A and B are shown apart, each in its own frame.
Chain A
């Protein structure tokens, strides 16, 4: 071979970069055991079993558990609503109804609406997720007993929607006006989905207008308003909302373009998670595994985008990718679940020695949605 000093330097530079890439960006990705809907459903059932086994007699949930330290005294009503949603998605109606009873006993009723109260405020997110949960119950059981409540909760969401389609934080109960003390990155997506579900449940009642305004805000302005450093925000609630709206009407090109970007974000997050290991250089270079609440939302998001792609021809090309990424994330979730120990541990997902009920919520929702996608012919 005729080698020159310049070529030797070129070769060395490429070799060093290639090694660095293999350790970092191009590290092997492992998506857990072979993906199968049966395995994912079994993991979801175990997660539901954890939620139900640790539910309090009054319908509230075990919020957070650390072996050796026990249960945390804190609580979060937004997460209570979210866990209840997951139970309805899993068909655990009895346990979910008990949780719904706990939450509806803590509603604030004024100005013709109803909202979940937490202290001196009524956070939008809790109400939105309660709407999603009750809509899920209605769709799954055919029971319309909560229809008037759904309309009242919906009226609250409309009351706190801004002219730009975004939302305030909720309601300041002490001052009796919209809570404009800040904004939330994820409440708009939650409200979008909730309003879209109301539009589906009650066609012709005018819920579609606020839902479309929320979708337009989420797809075209939210990331800028919330100063998201590297958009798009990984908003699985937004993905849920767009998929729900697409079932009712074709979506504008701008929203579909946003959905495509959202798929890219979830895909990158899941693929990076698939590079993480418990030992070896990867554990140092790629950091520790993210908690199930995070990974679960990415799986939920991809599964929702897969459903969206089934309905929108312009996104048909990303359907297989989205379901594949969801399956990768679901495989990681199934691998990381705890399967032994006392009832506070068995069926849960732990990170840094602690589990929180939304770890189980998002994991269960993601596993079920992915299983449903894989089972579809």
Chain B
């Protein structure tokens, strides 16, 4: 998997537009969104950097990690495709920056597992670079997704479908070991 494809898969699994309903309730608007995406990128980057020790501690090999990451990415992709968002605002119209926006919306199990698998198979440097590119793509999508009622759900569903395709590629890569 090339760096570009890895970044696109990661961006699809993170699915910024699916988090837009949560971003809307943040005090601070775009600045807060930038902070949230930055924190999520840091979490994903940390997962990539800790990939080796984590898999060693779990006694899980690289092919298994890739297949598992594909499964978790597929779950996220399917949920985004069906729901069109990672969640809605609470009744008082507020949202939380770290919870639930960063975790579990932007840096959920899917993106973290994908980062671990990418680092295990392609190296930490590649995974970190992919995370950086994915963060930039996510921020752009969060900021510029049309704020029409149909905008974020449509974008989220498209990215959910892309995440499903990426999940299959990850799992196949794990099965074939290439």
Which residues in A have some Cβ–Cβ distance to B below 8 Å?
A: 1-4, 6-7, 9-11, 13-14, 17-18, 21, 25-30, 260-261, 263-265, 267-268, 271, 274
Binds A, one of B5-13, B55-63, B132-140: B55-63
Whether A268 contacts B63 in the complex (CB less than 8 A), given A14-B109, A21-B72, A25-B71, comes out as yes
B104 engages A7 (CB within 8 Å): yes
- List chain B residues, Cβ under 8 A from A271: 61, 63-64
- List chain B residues, Cβ under 8 A from A18: 72, 109
16 intermolecular pairs with C-beta atoms under 8 Å apart: A1-B99, A2-B94, A4-B89, A6-B86, A10-B83, A10-B87, A10-B104, A13-B79, A17-B75, A21-B68, A25-B64, A26-B67, A29-B61, A261-B177, A264-B63, A268-B63
Q: How far is the CA of A7 from the CA of B100 in the complex (A)?
A: 8
Q: How many A-B residue pairs have CB under 8 A?
A: 94
- List chain A residues, Cβ under 8 A from B177: 261, 263-265, 267-268
For the complex, would chain B's binding face be called helix, strand, loop or mixed by DSSP majority? helix
CB distance from B146 to the nearest CB of A (A): 21
Instruction: Identify which of residues 41-56 in chain B touch chain A, using a CB-to-CB cut-off of 8 Å.
Output: none
Does B95 have its Cβ within 8 Å of any Cβ on chain A?
A: yes
A4 engages B88 (CB within 8 Å): yes
A7 engages B86 (CB within 8 Å): yes
Q: How far is the CA of A28 from the CA of B65 in the complex (A)?
A: 11
Question: How many B residues are at the interface, by size bracket?
Answer: 35 or more
- List chain A residues, Cβ under 8 A from B83: 6, 10
Does B108 have its Cβ within 8 Å of any Cβ on chain A?
A: yes
Which residues in B have some Cβ–Cβ distance to A below 8 Å?
A: 58-61, 63-65, 67-68, 71-72, 75-76, 79, 83, 85-90, 94-96, 99-100, 104-105, 108-110, 174-178
- List chain A residues, Cβ under 8 A from B60: 26-29
* CB-CB nearest 4 A-B residue pairs: A264-B177, A28-B59, A7-B87, A6-B87
- List chain A residues, Cβ under 8 A from B96: 1-2
CB distance from A115 to the nearest CB of B (A): 37
- List chain B residues, Cβ under 8 A from A13: 75, 79
- List chain A residues, Cβ under 8 A from B176: 261, 264-265
Whether A10 contacts B79 in the complex (CB less than 8 A), given A1-B99, A3-B100, A260-B178, comes out as yes
CB distance from B79 to the nearest CB of A (A): 6
- List chain A residues, Cβ under 8 A from B68: 21, 25-26
Q: How far is the CA of A271 from the CA of B64 in the complex (A)?
A: 8
Q: How far is the CA of A282 from the CA of B102 in the complex (A)?
A: 35
CB distance from B23 to the nearest CB of A (A): 13
B72 engages A29 (CB within 8 Å): no
Whether A29 contacts B75 in the complex (CB less than 8 A), given A4-B87, A10-B87, comes out as no
Q: How far is the CA of A261 from the CA of B63 in the complex (A)?
A: 13
A2 engages B109 (CB within 8 Å): no
B178 engages A26 (CB within 8 Å): no
Option from A21, A27, A28, A268 in Cβ contact (under 8 Å) with B71: A21
Q: Please give me the residue from chain B that is nearest to A8 by CB atom.
A: B87
CB distance from B42 to the nearest CB of A (A): 20
- List chain A residues, Cβ under 8 A from B65: 26
A1 engages B100 (CB within 8 Å): yes
Whether A17 contacts B72 in the complex (CB less than 8 A), given A29-B60, A271-B63, comes out as yes
- List chain B residues, Cβ under 8 A from A263: 177
Q: How far is the CA of A11 from the CA of B86 in the complex (A)?
A: 10
- List chain B residues, Cβ under 8 A from A261: 176-178
B63 engages A267 (CB within 8 Å): yes
- List chain B residues, Cβ under 8 A from A28: 58-60
Q: How far is the CA of A263 from the CA of B178 in the complex (A)?
A: 9
Q: How far is the CA of A260 from the CA of B173 in the complex (A)?
A: 12
B63 engages A26 (CB within 8 Å): no
- List chain A residues, Cβ under 8 A from B76: 14
Q: Please give me the residue from chain A that is nearest to B110 by CB atom.
A: A14
CB distance from B90 to the nearest CB of A (A): 5
Q: How far is the CA of A21 from the CA of B116 in the complex (A)?
A: 15
- List chain A residues, Cβ under 8 A from B79: 9-10, 13
